[in-house]
Amino acid sequence: MNIIIGAGISGLSAGHILKDEFWILEKNFSPGGLSGQYQVNGFAFDHGGHYFHFQNRAAVKEYVEKFHAFTAYQRNSKVFLMKRFIPYSLQYHLAYLSKRLRAIILQEILQANEARSENLREFLLGNFGEHLLDLFFEPFLGKFYGRPLDELLAGMDKGSIPVPKKDEVRQGAVEKKRFAEGYNPFFYYPQPAAQKFIESYSQPVRQRIRFGEQVTRVDQQRKKVYTNKGTYAYDNLINTMPLKEFLSIIEPRPPFDWQRLNHLSTLVVNAVLARRRRHFHWLYLPEAEMPFYRAGYYPNGKATTVYLEKTVLARGRLDHRETLRDVVLTLQQTGMITEPGEILFHDLKKIPVSYVVFDRHWPRLVPPALKFLRQRQIYSIGRYGGWKYSSMADDIQTARDTASLING
């Protein structure tokens, strides 16, 4: 008997492949985890994952398309800076900046020569120069991570900050054109909504999911999983709940100070608007006066819906009125609404564990902890189980590989 903790995209994908008998134990009452949606007042909002990125994942794309139709969108992401909408990534679109700034940044990027960097700040400085660091990276990433960039490791978020190709940077400094370079040039979204995909994707394992079953303890020596409803013996255990929490419920306690693992919590505000006034998928908001770091339009649906994301304290109390003021300010400043009355409905959702923080504790704790678990037939996978930065497509691939490994 094998046990999978969690019926998110990772747990479901592993279940598709496992040959021996298994149960998926899911604390919620529907599948999907952060790749799914929730309903409120007749509106469907994404939990976390929005677009699928199939870049370098052709096999995953082909596989998921057997379950559901996806629509491709050519990336149209922007940065809102100095009241201008500049195509993302900024370094490839310097022509949108003032003449003076453009010249300085271009020169700094062209002169940059990749040196070994000890931390994220050094990496950015070494590859982009001081002015782009001050203008975009430091304010944006500082707002996102809520800590100084020299406390973070370089290169851990898998290329979401591509090292600039100098020829393209030069070209983008003379010509106002949109580059579909680098990180995820295409986005894919299930039609008509993410939950429809999750429903069909969960069908093959539906009978194997035990909903409302929260894992509270794992005995790694007796190979038993305890839940709010019962006890399960396992041969192999696949975990997809956040590694930090998972390590805290294992007995006997693994020899890792897992409390040192750091993560971000995200507040997502979904807002239904009277009309669509802007045309982009994602808008990055680096400036300090804008309380959110990112805004985005849902690609389809009957209503015009946007989401706004902000890093918050895991345990902090949410001030609903203050948040709504921030929402109105962000939407007005970016021209997504002209008056507050255009917000027809809004909903607040906190994601307690949304992004892993790659600081000095990560290399010391995560690889050894995952190895320790694997030696005990426990496979901790997915973005949170593996305590890493990954997309839904990456998680599907890892889950399939893990289940194949278990099949032998």
Ligand X SMILES: Cc1cc2nc3c(=O)[nH]c(=O)nc-3n(C[C@H](O)[C@H](O)[C@H](O)COP(=O)(O)OP(=O)(O)OC[C@H]3O[C@@H](n4cnc5c(N)ncnc54)[C@H](O)[C@@H]3O)c2cc1C
> Site residues (CB under 6 A) for ligand X?
5-11, 25-28, 33-35, 48-53, 214-215, 240-241, 266, 268, 309, 351, 354, 382-384, 390-392, 395
Smallest separation (angstroms) from ligand X to the CB of 126 = 28
Smallest separation (angstroms) from ligand X to the CB of 129 = 29
Nearest alpha-carbon partner for 188 in 394, 10, 50? 50
Smallest separation (angstroms) from ligand X to the CB of 263 = 10
When the beta carbons of 229 and 320 are compared against ligand X, the nearer one is: 229
Smallest separation (angstroms) from ligand X to the CB of 290 = 17
Euclidean distance between CA atoms 33 and 308, whole angstroms: 19
* φ, ψ of residue 152 in degrees (nearest 5): -110, 150
What residue type is 345 in one-letter code? F
When the beta carbons of 51 and 201 are compared against ligand X, the nearer one is: 51
When the beta carbons of 51 and 358 are compared against ligand X, the nearer one is: 51
Smallest separation (angstroms) from ligand X to the CB of 137 = 20
Largest CA distance in the chain: 68
Beta strands in 157-197 (DSSP E): 186-190
Token couple for 406:
């278990």
Smallest separation (angstroms) from ligand X to the CB of 210 = 9
First-to-final CA distance of the chain: 14
When the beta carbons of 25 and 94 are compared against ligand X, the nearer one is: 25
Q: Give Cβ neighbours of residue 18 (< 8 Å, ≥ 6 apart).
A: 2, 4, 403, 406, 407
Smallest separation (angstroms) from ligand X to the CB of 280 = 14
Smallest separation (angstroms) from ligand X to the CB of 102 = 30
When the beta carbons of 5 and 105 are compared against ligand X, the nearer one is: 5
- My answer on whether omega of the bond before 162 falls inside 30° of 0, hence cis, is no
Beta strands in 199-332 (DSSP E): 209-211, 215-219, 224-227, 231-233, 236-239, 250-251, 263-273, 282-284, 294-297, 304-312
When the beta carbons of 6 and 139 are compared against ligand X, the nearer one is: 6
DSSP codes, 353-388: EEEE--BTHHHHHHHHHHHHHHTTTEEE-HHHHTTS
When the beta carbons of 38 and 345 are compared against ligand X, the nearer one is: 38
Euclidean distance between CA atoms 313 and 319, whole angstroms: 12
Euclidean distance between CA atoms 348 and 327, whole angstroms: 11
Token couple for 195:
């939950």
When the beta carbons of 51 and 128 are compared against ligand X, the nearer one is: 51
